Structure 1
Amino acid sequence: MEWYEQAQAAEQISDWDTAIQLVSARAECYSADFYAHDNHLWHMDLLVRAERFDQLTELAVTDVHGRRRLNRSLHERGMDTALRHRAEAGDRDALYHLVKLLCEKGRLQEACEAVQGLGPEDEYAHQLVADFRMSSGGAR
């Protein structure tokens, strides 16, 4: 499996162009071939590690894995404004990451306001805030 070893080697030295090219050529979202699906997830991770957020944002429009990986990456980087914009555009996963991030930063009031403004009927978003309140001893 020569391409695989080449992709791994490229990834290890941060040769993102090569790694992404090799992996994406063998990647397929929700493929019956689990190798192709696994390569798709690897491709999403490579885009994040290469900080190619524009490409990931384009993919996120139609690719659930791209959307999830983008939102998780924005959360990990503490980018609440970008998550808010995505949530305002209707991305529920971005809303959940936004709420979690705001709670983690101790901004519970903002998290509550985000849920009220962006997902007032979204039970899971409300539950995230309630769970955080419970775990933090009921603090507001």
Structure 2
Amino acid sequence: MTWFERAEAAERLGDWDTALALVSARAGCYVDADAHGNHLWHMDLLAAAGRFTELTELAHTDVHARRRLNRALQERGTDSALRGRAAAGDRGALYALLRLLCTTDRAPEAARAVRELAPDDAYALRLLTDLRSPSDGPA
């Protein structure tokens, strides 16, 4: 069995330590296509394992960790963590927060977040407009 097959099997079983050890040993951001793919898989494994402390630490310097962390927080409905990251300047976290709030029928909260955190962010404003339904009322 190859390392890849062992890593996939460990992932299916939820054996995160094994899967992470196998994948991270072959991961490298922008090294080559295979290493980069393994790097992205490594980020996915950290999120699946719920290792948000590690993912958060990597997110300080790794754009892929930052994106995966924000997506995981959105998927888990963790609006307070996204808001905190957005308030600290992470625009990706802001956009994930807006998606979360709008898709869970909290458009007024999303509009308030834009006003408080990034009133001049054109993408946030457009995202807010695109995600809101006409019945949500004005921004």
Q: TM-score, normalised by structure 2?
A: 0.94
1:12-65 CA-partner distances (Å, limit 9, x unpaired)? 21111011011001101122x100000001001111111101100001111111
The letter for the 2-side match of 1:118 is L
Match of 1:123 in 2: 122
Moved over 4 A (4+): none
Mapped to 2, the partners of 1:6 and 1:104 lie a distance apart of 37
List alignment gaps of at least 5 residues for structure 1. none
Match of 1:7 in 2: 7
Match of 1:84 in 2: 83
> Do the aligned partners of 2:19 and 2:45 also contact (CA within 8 Å) in 1?
yes
Q: What percentage of residue pairs aligned between the two structures are identical?
A: 62
The letter for the 1-side match of 2:115 is Q
- Paired positions, count: 137
Match of 1:112 in 2: 111
Mapped to 2, the partners of 1:128 and 1:73 lie a distance apart of 19
Whether 1:69 and 2:71 are equivalent positions in the alignment is no
RMSD: 1.2
> Do the aligned partners of 2:108 and 2:136 also contact (CA within 8 Å) in 1?
no
Residue 51 of structure 1 aligns to a residue whose secondary structure is coil
Residue 30 of structure 1 aligns to a residue whose secondary structure is coil
Residue 29 of structure 1 aligns to a residue whose secondary structure is coil
The letter for the 2-side match of 1:139 is D
Mapped to 2, the partners of 1:88 and 1:139 lie a distance apart of 24
Q: TM-score, normalised by structure 1?
A: 0.93
Whether 1:100 and 2:99 are equivalent positions in the alignment is yes
Mapped to 1, the partners of 2:104 and 2:2 lie a distance apart of 45
